[in-house]
Amino acid sequence: MAWLNKIVFFLICTTVVFTTLAYGTVHQPVIAFFYLSVTAIVLLWAADCFSSGAVRFSGSPLQLPLALLAIYAVIQIIPFGTFTDTAGVAGIPRKISYDPFSTQATAVHIFMLCLFFAVALVYLDSATRLRRMVTVITVFGFIYAFYAILQSVLSPGKIYGIYAVPYTTPFGSFVNRHDFAAIVEMTVAVPLGMMFTGAVTRDKKLLYGVAIALMGAALLLSGSRGGLVAFVSEIILLVIVTTRANGARNTVLKAGLSFLLVAAAVGGAVFVGGDTSLTRITSDTSSRDITSNRAAIWSATVNLIANTLPLGSGVGAYQQAFTAYDPLSGAQRVEQAHNDYLQVLADAGVVGLVIGGLFLFWFIREGRRNTRVANTFRRGVAVGAFAGCFAILIHSVFDFVLHITAISVMFLTLMAMLVASGRKYDDDIDELDLTPLKRSGGAASVTPISQRSRRRVSDHAE
């Protein structure tokens, strides 16, 4: 039934927005609601498959790393023998994880993210839906950035004007400003990809430019230095990917466009005022607080990794495992490594290294292939999604952004868009030569208005 199909896609879009607005979905009640949403999406997918008489699923290998990590987390909590008597207590099961309960909870969380990703891959099944997802992310990013800027001026210490956060620097709906920067890195990448590939019609370029400038200004105002580095890296990648063989003139034009967009973002941030990434980049990076002193955390994490190889200390068990290597002996609590790569090694050891390597290989291969499709619109989607995911991978060197549910959901959504952009669809059109879409039941059909609107046949099939 077509209505089931539409509801699932609507819930996917809603989940992307809701997880961000609900304080990044880091509190247990909101996380439970996210699990219920994913469960509802999966049940509706099953009902849709039953009504259509065919099981729909994606064969993308990018699903495997998440599934393998969840499976390995389960293995880490399986008992193998018992400890000898300890303080008069006997029969304590021996497990790989330092904190089996946290590892079990993390395994469930990863499994839910895996289900969301799998369904998103299935229901991004047309150019029309890709276009709608681009619109959702771009419009949401614009409105969200506008609200965050207003909040930073009117109520900088409270989220939504009601939730006071005295112990850190909130921004937008996030307690941590670095998490806000991570979300905006991805939302701004989508319109940037469309602009850099020329997939935006002349009458929409100003709107896209304003949206990009506003999101860039909000990112700078967040004061996240990791976000600034990731944003610059994202723009450099966009220039490289979209000017491979187009000549020096095109390269200069793209570089000029980059300069104008960055200048607009900087100008907006300076106009609003306050502490920005640009002012903080020159400040002292050292900190007496072990919870934010990355050098001390990374040094202790390296010692943790060296002593827990090859199996790791347990996925999600970093907080407990770190205590034995804490230079301050527990004076302050450290929950994350502030480096997703080091934490994967600390949590999953050699297995995590292999899983991470597989993910990077498949991600780069998918990006290289899909950013070269002939269809202008789908190439723009691929370039934007690839750049957004790349920015998060850069930001992950400095923070634990992928441990935040909202960021993971947005990241997986961009991954699904990257995969979907490499497919050919019946309703494919070139964004520079728009043809009207006519509805016929639940499917979209294309009515050509000129010979130029013929679909190109040089796209590869997935």
Any alpha helices (H) in 294-375, and if so which ranges?
294-308, 318-322, 340-370
What pLDDT, on a 0 to 100 scale, did the predictor assign at position 225? 87
What pLDDT, on a 0 to 100 scale, did the predictor assign at position 38? 97
What pLDDT, on a 0 to 100 scale, did the predictor assign at position 296? 85
CA–CA separation, 38 and 70 (whole Å): 16
pLDDT above 70: residue 418: yes
Segment 375-396 shows an average pLDDT of: 95
CA–CA separation, 212 and 189 (whole Å): 8
Instruction: Evaluate whether 119 touches 125 at the Cβ level (below 8 Å).
Output: no
Least confident piece of the model among 13-27, 402-416, 423-437: 423-437
pLDDT above 80: residue 459: no
What pLDDT, on a 0 to 100 scale, did the predictor assign at position 462? 44
pLDDT above 80: residue 398: yes
Least confident piece of the model among 334-348, 368-382, 441-455: 441-455
Segment 187-205 shows an average pLDDT of: 92
Number of helices (H) and strands (E), helices first, in the chain?
15, 4
What pLDDT, on a 0 to 100 scale, did the predictor assign at position 279? 55
**What's the gap between Cα 340 and its chain centre?**
13
Band the pLDDT of 457: cuts 50, 70, 90: very low
Mean pLDDT score across all residues of the chain? 84
Segment 264-283 shows an average pLDDT of: 53
Q: Is 404 helix (H, G, I), strand (E, B) or coil?
A: coil
Burial, 444: exposed, middle or buried (Cβ in 10 Å; 0-12, 13-18, 19+)? Answer: middle
pLDDT above 80: residue 376: yes
Burial, 145: exposed, middle or buried (Cβ in 10 Å; 0-12, 13-18, 19+)? Answer: buried
273 against 1, higher pLDDT: 1
pLDDT above 90: residue 335: no
Least confident piece of the model among 169-173, 215-219, 330-334: 330-334
Structural tokens at position 14: 């809603």
**What is the per-residue pLDDT across 222-247, written as a single tens digit (0 to 9) for each?**
888 889 989 989 998 998 888 864 55
The top-scoring range by mean pLDDT among 153-162, 276-285, 442-451 is 153-162
What pLDDT, on a 0 to 100 scale, did the predictor assign at position 448? 38
Band the pLDDT of 276: cuts 50, 70, 90: low
CA–CA separation, 205 and 268 (whole Å): 19
Which secondary-structure segment (H or E) carries 159?
strand 158-159
CA–CA separation, 212 and 218 (whole Å): 10
Residue from 14, 20, 13 nearest 405 by CA: 20
Instruction: Evaluate whether 288 touches 332 at the Cβ level (below 8 Å).
Output: no
170 against 263, higher pLDDT: 170
Structural tokens at position 273: 């005022």
**What is the per-residue pLDDT across 37-56, written as a single tens digit (0 to 9) for each?**
999 999 999 999 999 888 99
pLDDT above 80: residue 445: no
DSSP class of 94: P
What pLDDT, on a 0 to 100 scale, did the predictor assign at position 161? 86
pTM confidence score: 0.87
Band the pLDDT of 410: cuts 50, 70, 90: very high
User: In this prediction, what percent of the chain has a pLDDT beyond 90?
Assistant: 60
What pLDDT, on a 0 to 100 scale, did the predictor assign at position 438? 41
